[in-house]
A and B are shown apart, each in its own frame.
Chain A
Amino acid sequence: MQDYQNPFEMAQAQFDEAASVLGLEPAMKDILRWPRREYSFTIPVRMDDGSVRIFHGYRVQYNDARGPNKGGIRWHPAETIDTIRALAAWMTWKCAVVDIPLGGGEGGIACNPKTLSEGEKERLARGWVRCVARELGEHRDIPGPDVYTTPQIMAWMLDEYETIVGRSHPAGFAGKPPALGGSLGRNEATARGGVYAVREACKALNVDPCGGTFAIQGFGNAGQYAALLHPEILGGGKLIAVSDTSGGIHDSAGLDPKAVVDYKRKTGRLIGFPNAKPIANEDILELDVDILYPAALENVITRENAESIKAQIVCELADGPTTPDADRILHVNGVHVIPDFLANAGGVTVSYFEQVQGLYNYYWTQDDVNRQLDRKMTEAYRVVNQLHHEHKAHMRLAAYLVAIQRVAEAVKLRGWV
Chain B
Amino acid sequence: MAKTMSDKLQNEASSLTTGLPGLDQVLKGVMPGDNIVWQVESTDDYLALVKPYAAAARASDRKLIYFRFATHPQLLPDDFGAEIHRPRPELGFESFTTEVHQVIGEAGRGAIYVFDCLSELASTWCSDQMLGNFFMLTCPRLLDLETVTYFAIYRNYHASFALRPITETTQFLLDVFRHEDHLYIRPIKVQYRSTSAMNMIHAWEGDEFKPVTASAIVSKLLVSSRWPGLRTDNRRGFWRRIFSEAETLYEQIKAGQCPPEVERDLFERLSRMVLSHDEGMLKLISRYLTLEDIFSIHDRMIGIGLIGGKAVGMLIARAILQKTEPKFRDLLETHDSFFIGSDVFYTFLVRNKIWWIRQKQQDPETFLEGAAEARELIMKGVFPDYTVEQFREMLDYFGESPFIVRSSSLLEDNYGNAFAGKYDSVFCVNQGSREKRLEEFLQAVREIYASTLSEKALRYRAQRNMLDRDEQMALLVMRVSGSIQGKKFYPQVAGVGFSFNPYAWNEYIDPKAGVVRLVFGLGTRAVDRADDDYTRLVALNAPERRPEANFDEVCQYAQRRVDYLDLQSNQLTSGYFSDLLEEPSDFPLDLFASQEASHDGNSDPTHRILTFDELLSSTDFVDRLREMLRLLHEAYQYPVDIEFAANFLNEKHYTINLLQCRPLQVQGAEVIRVPEVDIRDEDRILEAHGAVIGQGRILDIDRFIYVVPSAYGALPIQARYEVAHLIGKINRLAPADDASITMLLGPGRWGTSSPSLGIPVNFGEISRVSILCEIVAMRENLIPDVSLGTHFLNELVEMNMLYIALFPRQKKNILHEAFFLKAPNRLAELVPEAASWADTVKVIDVREAAAQDRVVTLSANAVEQKAVCYFRVPSAEASSFIKNHKEK
Q: Nearest residue in B to A183 (C-beta to C-beta)?
A: B601
A203 at the interface (CB under 8 A from B): no
Question: A114: which of B533, B547, B607 is its contact (CB, 8 Å)?
Answer: B547
Q: How many residues of A contact B (CB 8 A)?
A: 51
B845 at the interface (CB under 8 A from A): no
Interface positions, chain B 547-585, Cβ under 8 Å from A, are: 547-552, 555-556, 558, 560-561, 576, 578-579
Residues of A within 8 A of B785 (CB): 77-78
Measured in the bound complex, the distance between the Cα atoms of B720 and A298 in whole Å is 12
CB distance B549 to A113 under 8 Å? Answer: yes
A299 at the interface (CB under 8 A from B): yes
A360 at the interface (CB under 8 A from B): no
**With A114-B548, A115-B506 as contacts: A268 and B558 at CB distance below 8 Å:** yes
The A-B contact count (CB < 8 A) is 108
Residues of B within 8 A of A117 (CB): 508, 542, 544-545
CB distance A298 to B560 under 8 Å? Answer: no
Measured in the bound complex, the distance between the Cα atoms of B827 and A413 in whole Å is 59
CB distance B756 to A78 under 8 Å? Answer: yes
- Of A206-214, A259-267, A337-345, the one touching chain B: A259-267
Measured in the bound complex, the distance between the Cα atoms of B545 and A113 in whole Å is 9
CB distance B752 to A78 under 8 Å? Answer: yes
Residues of B within 8 A of A324 (CB): 718
- Of B52-60, B113-121, B592-600, the one touching chain A: B592-600
CB distance B599 to A188 under 8 Å? Answer: yes
- Of A37-45, A88-96, A220-228, A382-390, the one touching chain B: A220-228
CB distance A266 to B578 under 8 Å? Answer: yes
CB distance A281 to B764 under 8 Å? Answer: yes
CB distance B560 to A115 under 8 Å? Answer: no
CB distance A3 to B718 under 8 Å? Answer: yes
Q: Chain B, 352-393, contact with A by CB distance < 8 Å: what is the 0/1 string?
A: 000000000000000000000000000000000000000000
Q: How many residues of B contact A (CB 8 A)?
A: 49
B719 at the interface (CB under 8 A from A): yes
A416 at the interface (CB under 8 A from B): no
B123 at the interface (CB under 8 A from A): no
Question: A116: which of B545, B560, B752 is its contact (CB, 8 Å)?
Answer: B545
Interface positions, chain A 146-181, Cβ under 8 Å from B, are: 148, 150, 178
B435 at the interface (CB under 8 A from A): no
A47 at the interface (CB under 8 A from B): yes
Q: Chain A, 197-238, contact with B by CB distance < 8 Å: what is the 0/1 string?
A: 000000000000000000000001100110010000000000
CB distance B718 to A299 under 8 Å? Answer: yes
Measured in the bound complex, the distance between the Cα atoms of B787 and A115 in whole Å is 11
CB distance B576 to A265 under 8 Å? Answer: no
A302 at the interface (CB under 8 A from B): yes
Residues of A within 8 A of B465 (CB): none
CB distance A112 to B550 under 8 Å? Answer: no
B790 at the interface (CB under 8 A from A): yes
Q: Is the interface of B mostly helix, strand, loop or mixed?
A: loop
Measured in the bound complex, the distance between the Cα atoms of B542 and A180 in whole Å is 30
B754 at the interface (CB under 8 A from A): yes
**With A116-B545, A268-B556 as contacts: A261 and B599 at CB distance below 8 Å:** yes
Measured in the bound complex, the distance between the Cα atoms of B557 and A269 in whole Å is 10
A49 at the interface (CB under 8 A from B): yes
A297 at the interface (CB under 8 A from B): yes
Q: Nearest residue in A to B544 (C-beta to C-beta)?
A: A117
Question: A325: which of B506, B558, B718 is its contact (CB, 8 Å)?
Answer: B718
B826 at the interface (CB under 8 A from A): no
Measured in the bound complex, the distance between the Cα atoms of B558 and A269 in whole Å is 11
Residues of B within 8 A of A77 (CB): 785
CB distance A323 to B607 under 8 Å? Answer: no
**With A148-B550, A188-B599 as contacts: A78 and B556 at CB distance below 8 Å:** no
Residues of B within 8 A of A268 (CB): 533-534, 555-556, 558, 560
* Min CB–CB distance B872 → chain A (angstroms): 37
CB distance A3 to B719 under 8 Å? Answer: yes
Q: Nearest residue in B to A258 (C-beta to C-beta)?
A: B599
* Min CB–CB distance B486 → chain A (angstroms): 18
Residues of B within 8 A of A245 (CB): 762-764
Residues of A within 8 A of B551 (CB): 150
Measured in the bound complex, the distance between the Cα atoms of B51 and A295 in whole Å is 94
**With A48-B508, A49-B508 as contacts: A3 and B599 at CB distance below 8 Å:** no
B48 at the interface (CB under 8 A from A): no
CB distance A3 to B547 under 8 Å? Answer: no
**With A114-B547, A186-B601, A266-B576 as contacts: A220 and B552 at CB distance below 8 Å:** yes
* Min CB–CB distance A156 → chain B (angstroms): 14
CB distance A221 to B600 under 8 Å? Answer: no
**With A112-B506, A115-B545, A188-B601 as contacts: A265 and B596 at CB distance below 8 Å:** yes
Question: A150: which of B550, B725, B756 is its contact (CB, 8 Å)?
Answer: B550
CB distance B560 to A266 under 8 Å? Answer: yes
B222 at the interface (CB under 8 A from A): no
CB distance B532 to A269 under 8 Å? Answer: yes
Measured in the bound complex, the distance between the Cα atoms of B542 and A119 in whole Å is 12
Q: Chain B, 780-804, contact with A by CB distance < 8 Å: what is the 0/1 string?
A: 0000010000100000000000000
Interface positions, chain A 49-99, Cβ under 8 Å from B, are: 49, 75-78, 83
Measured in the bound complex, the distance between the Cα atoms of B544 and A51 in whole Å is 18
A239 at the interface (CB under 8 A from B): no
A270 at the interface (CB under 8 A from B): no
Residues of A within 8 A of B508 (CB): 47-49, 115, 117
Q: Nearest residue in A to B788 (C-beta to C-beta)?
A: A115
Measured in the bound complex, the distance between the Cα atoms of B550 and A245 in whole Å is 18
CB distance A221 to B552 under 8 Å? Answer: yes
A5 at the interface (CB under 8 A from B): yes
Residues of A within 8 A of B534 (CB): 268
Measured in the bound complex, the distance between the Cα atoms of B153 and A273 in whole Å is 69
Residues of B within 8 A of A150 (CB): 550-551
**With A77-B785, A268-B560 as contacts: A5 and B545 at CB distance below 8 Å:** no
Residues of A within 8 A of B718 (CB): 3, 299, 302, 323-325
**With A245-B762, A297-B762 as contacts: A114 and B549 at CB distance below 8 Å:** yes
* Min CB–CB distance B285 → chain A (angstroms): 39
Q: Chain A, 99-114, contact with B by CB distance < 8 Å: what is the 0/1 string?
A: 0000000000000111
Measured in the bound complex, the distance between the Cα atoms of B542 and A374 in whole Å is 46
* Min CB–CB distance B781 → chain A (angstroms): 12
B590 at the interface (CB under 8 A from A): no
A135 at the interface (CB under 8 A from B): no
Residues of A within 8 A of B754 (CB): 76, 78, 83
CB distance A267 to B576 under 8 Å? Answer: yes
* Min CB–CB distance B613 → chain A (angstroms): 10
Measured in the bound complex, the distance between the Cα atoms of B579 and A304 in whole Å is 43
* Min CB–CB distance B398 → chain A (angstroms): 35
CB distance A302 to B756 under 8 Å? Answer: no
B546 at the interface (CB under 8 A from A): yes
Residues of B within 8 A of A366 (CB): 600
CB distance B721 to A302 under 8 Å? Answer: yes
Residues of B within 8 A of A228 (CB): 599
Residues of A within 8 A of B546 (CB): 114
Measured in the bound complex, the distance between the Cα atoms of B753 and A75 in whole Å is 13
Q: Nearest residue in B to A82 (C-beta to C-beta)?
A: B756
Measured in the bound complex, the distance between the Cα atoms of B717 and A276 in whole Å is 36
CB distance A5 to B716 under 8 Å? Answer: yes
Measured in the bound complex, the distance between the Cα atoms of B452 and A68 in whole Å is 74
Interface of B toward A, CB cutoff 8 Å: 506-508, 532-534, 542, 544-552, 555-556, 558, 560-561, 576, 578-579, 596-597, 599-602, 607, 716-719, 721-722, 725, 752-754, 756-757, 760, 762-764, 785, 790
Further contacts, 8 of them, CB under 8 A, given A245-B763, A304-B722: A47-B508, A113-B549, A114-B790, A184-B600, A228-B599, A268-B558, A281-B764, A298-B753
Of the A-B pairs whose beta carbons lie under 8 Å apart in the complex, a sample of 25, sorted by A's number, is: A3-B719, A4-B716, A48-B508, A49-B508, A113-B549, A113-B550, A114-B506, A114-B546, A114-B547, A115-B507, A115-B790, A117-B544, A186-B601, A187-B599, A187-B600, A187-B601, A188-B600, A245-B763, A247-B764, A266-B578, A268-B555, A268-B560, A302-B718, A325-B718, A366-B600
What 6 A-B pairs have minimum CB-CB distances, sorted nearest first? A3-B716, A115-B506, A187-B601, A299-B721, A148-B549, A113-B549
